[in-house]
A and B are shown apart, each in its own frame.
Chain A
């Protein structure tokens, strides 16, 4: 299980290098979100959902049991805010998540706090509150399934999901 996890992460790293993005953690996730179907992000149309996921980065990460944004997280959200200002037709949902090292109900509340920190930051960067919904999934929807620290860190996240219909 753990071995497989390592191999997958290596594969993602290759994708990151291929897209030559600067911020490794975000890019890592961007590549992950692009589905690993090959050629991640190389052909995304500006203003498309894929553009947002691949070239901006749709998620920020948190320290264990923390809900404060990291410097890296704020940098990602600055880019998100700029993109969302440019493409103001999108409304979106911020999904807050926790890793599995917490109890279920606390993690639901913790994920809600992470979504809220992310929302508040985007609002402080000029995004209208009316465009934003938040939801918490607690530890119910991990993206990385394994049992080590680097893996858990990918699950402590807030993901900005553009509403498809908007």
Chain B
């Protein structure tokens, strides 16, 4: 069921780079001037994206021409979609980069107003592996900001492009990137009343979709384990609907726990050792957590209400969830051990599907008010509520690993599609998928 190509061996990527990618850092050619750091401001939604030049990576030999072109295109697309960078049309370039070790002719890049320049090279090694090198230049200061090399098998070329994109993003924004990450989601085909749903996984940019289930069973709400190649999701199998675990390397599947009723809305704890979920008991749904090693289960809420959509804080100390215990769906926060819960959402209408940012600074949610479904954020103390996008019908936000971007699904006439939006509310973009798509969940950074 699972293609071996899906399996990624992280160590293989680092072979030859010693203790890690950083070990392959190229020597800095010129010292950086103090206070001259080239920076993109990302906190204010950056109305002025940084002009950046990304000439095609040099091919070590003609055989690498296509792979070099593809890697350059992936990096360009990543940076452009972030909304923080404005890649310059290559037709404007006057210097042709033929040797990525040479210092570029900075005046040629200044004249087209490139503030940053990325050069690179892809070379096939004698042992069949691929060497990827890049250098990031501050055009106006005339100095190198970063330079790294990586060794990998050729089938990892896309990942190398994402890793280089993250390195550029981090150097120029001061924050970690999110490009070397994946999305697990629900692929939807067929008419609405008989929709076929399959679990699928793809790169964050929508490339390389692989299917994890065949569509025989209705599957919903997948989530990544933060530390392993595992996902948890809800499935209507032959018996009652249950929470499952699926190892995406081996395809091995198991039911989580032995509960006397329907389990749904599963999420991993921050350390990946536990699964928190809702259990239906009569008219009520309450939160339970199961330790995956000891299989011990613990009840966390006990109310005559619907408690669902749980989410751990990144430090694992708190749980946010939605409950209608007060009469409408609202977001509550309690200790990870259960006990009293405090309502934090007081804006107009209902608030549901809370997700805690990996940075810890925001909780994103689905808002429902006056027939509109919005994606919004608020702070964990309930202050600072903002709606980022509204309409019929937006649902189910998930944070990028750096907490700067949200992905969600939008249901329109034809069916659901995936979108991203900055937490500033800018840069809303559709994510390409092979068919209709819903229930996205963003992985942590892979490297």
Contact = CB atoms under 8 A, between A and B. Distances in A.
B309 A105 contact: yes
A101 B308 CA distance: 17
Given A103-B353, A106-B309, A112 B262 contact: yes
Given A1-B413, A145-B191, A104 B221 contact: yes
Contacts of A1: 413
Given A101-B393, A117-B283, A135-B241, A109 B193 contact: no
B241 A103 contact: no
B366 A105 contact: no
A147 B193 CA distance: 13
Kindly name the residue among A109, A135, A141, A142 whose own CB sees the greatest number of chain B CB atoms within 10 A: A109
Interface in A89-110: 100-106, 108-110
Contacts of B282: 116
Contacts of B352: 103, 105-106
Nearest to B353: A103
A108 B234 CA distance: 11
B220 A104 contact: yes
B262 A105 contact: no
A36 B309 CA distance: 39
B192 A145 contact: yes
B195 interface: yes
Contacts of B366: 103
- Mostly, the B contact residues are strand
A140 B220 contact: yes
Given A101-B371, A112-B285, 9 more contacts: A100-B411, A101-B368, A103-B352, A105-B352, A109-B308, A116-B282, A117-B283, A140-B220, A142-B193
B193 A141 contact: yes
B283 A143 contact: no
A141 B194 CA distance: 7
Chain B interface bracket (under 10, 10 to 19, 20 to 34, 35 or more): 35 or more
B322 interface: yes
Interface of A: 1, 67, 100-106, 108-110, 112-113, 116-117, 135-137, 140-143, 145, 147
Contacts, number: 77
Given A117-B283, A136-B241, A105 B411 contact: no
Interface string B229-247: 0000010100011000000
A105 B283 contact: no
A106 B306 contact: yes
Given A100-B393, A112-B262, A117-B283, A106 B322 contact: yes
B218 interface: yes
18 contacts: A1-B413, A67-B283, A100-B411, A101-B371, A102-B368, A104-B396, A105-B221, A105-B352, A108-B220, A108-B308, A109-B285, A112-B280, A112-B285, A135-B240, A135-B241, A135-B262, A136-B262, A140-B218
A109 B286 CA distance: 10
B203 interface: no
A1 B191 CA distance: 13
Interface string B337-373: 0000000000000001100000000000010100100
B218 A109 contact: no
Contacts of B241: 108, 135-136
A137 B192 CA distance: 13
Interface in B214-261: 218, 220-221, 234, 236, 240-241
Interface string B203-221: 0000000000000001011
Contacts of B353: 103, 105
B308 A106 contact: yes
A88 B191 CA distance: 36
A142 B192 contact: yes
A104 B439 contact: yes
B149 interface: no
Contacts of A136: 241, 262, 280
